[in-house]
């Protein structure tokens, strides 16, 4: 009993210190309530990003989210043609790092895009410096080069390192999140704080985009968007402007693990994208094992949702369906090429190492405003500990497609785009779940013509669209579509933002 009491006291003390530190961040006298803090003028909108400093953070808050605040500063780097900003989303002792770039076209009128990479546990610096950002890291020594096909050509774009422990994000006392639903609450609060403080963005169409496990794109984005949508009710009740959530964009996402597992056979044993890459004997064994694999996953991971039983099913499927591919040493993100380096070290792309080296330079970190607590920590593109935490929570097995259908029913459009050469989150599996999705537009989507979409007179891929849902493939692209096909990727996004068909 005494031990339990002492433990409770210790925890109360720790969390009291956390709250006190957070109040110090905001300049709120200790013991003040959120409404009192509002009276101090600390929640007053700044309205214009031009008032921000390049050397010091400005702290933003929101009366509806007393546990959250934002540190933000100007950061002149990467693209000198636009204004850029970096900072942290502070949730008491947890801190999420972000980049924000204004549009090259018309920042005062253009839409706003939120971007996150997947993993789970991979930094959005990959999206920024390798794929769709306004600059790319050619090599660490020479720094960044201008990227003409950046998605900020006609949109204002965020890149967020989340969840805690990813990239430059950190926690004071080892706090972490292990499910997408937990992470969604912090992202939704950040979105509201930003739009409330900078009034020129209020009411703008807002698009949430991501890639991979997204859980980058496939899982993160539908859940994050649903939280933003549901939170609008709270904002309206408080007399604040709701977020104009216009769409979600999921690139090579793992939205339904079940249909994706089934599709791994198609990618390696049929010409679904390239010539079959496995030998006939291996494909025959895989074909025989697939029904048992799918039965085990359905019973244990979908119907029962039991960790021990699900792990047993996953172990069987990995041995029979997954490992035969990895033995080929092909790139799981682009089966048309071999993996360069060790997958665990380079993600098959040595450029990821250059990005990490670049982000380790003290002058770069100082420019970005990276917290000093990370000074002796090497940058890592992906965090295995974050991935493990999500794995233990069985996060990837939760039915994310229900969020997509719910968003569609509420008028939020969805773009599901997939590079044809990707294996790990491939086009066959993604097309399967979009066709099977239960929603009011299912019949119309199922009978919609699947047609070519063209960029500059050349076929870019195939697409199907109905009632706000669009599925599109991109020829010649792998898992990271903007990296492999930057022109086609930008054209796809620009058409989507303008409301045009692909």
pLDDT tens digits, 448-458 = 999 999 999 99
Q: Which of 68, 147, 207, 479 is the catalytic position?
A: 479
What are phi and psi for residue 74, nearest 5 degrees? Answer: -70, 145
| Cα gap 194→46, rounded to integer Å | 10
Per DSSP, the residues of 281-349 read: HHHHHHHHHHHHHHHHIIIIIIIS--HHHHHHHHHHHIIIIIHHHHTTTEETTEEEEE--S-HHHHTT-
Quick one: pLDDT band at residue 21, thresholds 50, 70, 90?
very low
Residue 62 clears pLDDT 90, i.e. is over it: no
Say if CB 502 and CB 465 are below 8 A apart.
Answer: yes
| Mean pLDDT confidence for 105-111 | 96
Q: What is the per-residue pLDDT across 378-431, written as a single tens digit (0 to 9) for each?
A: 888 787 777 777 877 788 888 899 999 999 999 999 999 999 999 999 999 999
Cβ 217 vs Cβ 114: under 8 Å: no
Distance separating alpha carbons of residues 294 and 258, to the nearest angstrom:
7
For residues 290 and 285, give the distance between their C-alpha atoms in angstroms, rounded to a whole number: 9
Cis peptide before 481 (omega within 30 of 0): no
CA–chain centroid gap for 379, Å, is 18
* Catalytic hit among 103, 212, 300, 383: 212
pTM for the whole thing?
0.90
At residue 197, does pLDDT exceed 80?
Answer: yes
- Based on its alpha-carbon atoms, the radius of gyration of the chain, rounded to whole angstroms, reads 23
422 given a catalytic annotation: yes
Domains and CATH numbers, the chain: 49-256+392-498 (3.40.50.1820), 260-334 (1.10.287.410)
Task: For 228-242, give one letter per residue: b (16+ CB within 10 A) or e.
Answer: bbebbeebeeeebeb
How much is the pLDDT for 26? 43
């935490």: which residue's tokens? 389
Q: Is the pLDDT of residue 37 over 60?
A: no
pLDDT digits (tens, 9 = 90+) for 334-383: 999 999 999 888 889 999 999 999 999 999 999 999 999 998 888 887 87
212 belongs to the catalytic site: yes
pLDDT in tens, 144-192: 999 999 999 999 999 999 887 888 998 888 777 778 888 899 899 889 9
Helix (H, G, I), strand (E, B) or coil at 161: strand
CA 27 – CA 177 distance, rounded (Å): 27
Residue 493: its H or E element? helix 486-498
Q: Note the Cα 232 to chain centre separation in Å.
A: 21
Exactly one of 422, 427, 465, 475 is catalytic; which is it? 422
Per-residue pLDDT tens for 208-234? 999 875 445 578 899 999 999 999 998
Mean pLDDT of 13-25: 40
Alpha-helical runs (H) found in 173-272? 180-197, 220-237, 257-269
Give start and end residues of each alpha helix (H) in 394-447.
Answer: 401-409, 427-436, 442-447
Question: Is residue 243 reached through a cis peptide bond, with omega within 30 degrees of 0 on the bond before it?
Answer: no
Tens-digit pLDDT profile for residues 432-453: 999 999 999 999 999 999 999 9
């Amino acid at each position: 009993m005494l031990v339990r009491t002492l433990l409770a006291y210790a925890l109360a003390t720790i969390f009291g210190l956390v709250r006190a530190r957070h109040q110090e961040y905001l300049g709120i006298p200790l013991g003040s309530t959120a409404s009192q803090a509002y009276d101090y003028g600390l929640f007053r909108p700044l309205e214009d990003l031009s008032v921000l400093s390049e050397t010091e953070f400005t702290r933003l808050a929101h009366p509806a989210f007393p546990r959250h605040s934002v540190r933000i500063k100007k950061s002149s780097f990467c693209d000198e043609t636009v204004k850029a900003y970096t900072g942290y989303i502070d949730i008491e002792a947890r801190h999420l790092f972000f980049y924000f770039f204004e549009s090259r076209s018309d920042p005062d009128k253009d839409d706003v895009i939120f971007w996150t990479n997947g993993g789970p546990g991979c930094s959005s610096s990959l999206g920024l410096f390798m794929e769709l950002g306004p600059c790319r890291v050619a090599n660490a020594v020479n720094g960044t080069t201008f990227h003409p096909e950046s998605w900020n050509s006609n949109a204002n774009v965020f890149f967020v390192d989340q969840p805690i422990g990813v990239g430059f994000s950190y926690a004071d006392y080892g706090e972490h999140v292990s499910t997408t639903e937990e992470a969604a609450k912090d992202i939704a609060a950040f979105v509201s704080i930003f739009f409330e403080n900078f009034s020129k963005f209020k009411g703008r169409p807002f698009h949430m985009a991501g890639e991979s496990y997204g859980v980058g794109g496939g899982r993160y984005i539908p859940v994050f968007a649903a939280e933003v949508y549901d939170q609008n009710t709270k904002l309206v009740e408080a007399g604040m402007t709701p977020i104009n959530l216009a769409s979600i964009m999921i690139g090579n996402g793992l939205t339904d693990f079940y249909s994706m597992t089934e599709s791994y056979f198609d990618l390696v044993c049929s010409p679904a994208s390239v010539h079959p890459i496995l030998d006939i004997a291996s494909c025959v064994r895989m074909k025989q094992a697939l029904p048992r694999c799918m039965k085990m996953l359905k019973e244990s991971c979908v119907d029962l949702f039991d960790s021990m039983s699900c792990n047993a099913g996953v172990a069987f499927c990995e041995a029979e369906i997954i490992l035969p591919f990895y033995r080929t040493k092909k790139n799981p993100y682009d089966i048309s090429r071999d993996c360069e380096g060790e997958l665990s070290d380079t993600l098959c792309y040595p450029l990821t190492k250059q990005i990490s080296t670049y982000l380790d330079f003290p002058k770069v970190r100082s420019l970005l405003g990276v917290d000093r607590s990370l000074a002796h920590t090497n940058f890592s593109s992906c965090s295995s500990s974050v991935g493990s935490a999500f794995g233990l929570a069985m996060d990837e097995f939760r039915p994310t497609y229900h969020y997509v259908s719910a968003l569609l029913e509420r008028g939020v459009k969805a773009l599901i785009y997939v590079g044809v050469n990707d294996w790990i989150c491939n086009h066959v599996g993604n097309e399967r779940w979009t066709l099977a999705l239960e929603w009011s537009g299912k019949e119309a989507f199922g009978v919609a013509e699947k047609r070519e979409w063209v960029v500059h007179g050349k076929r870019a891929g195939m697409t199907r669209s109905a009632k706000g849902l669009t599925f599109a493939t991109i020829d010649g692209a792998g898992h990271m579509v903007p990296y492999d096909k930057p022109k086609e990727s930008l054209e796809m996004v620009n058409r989507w933002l303008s409301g045009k068909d692909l």
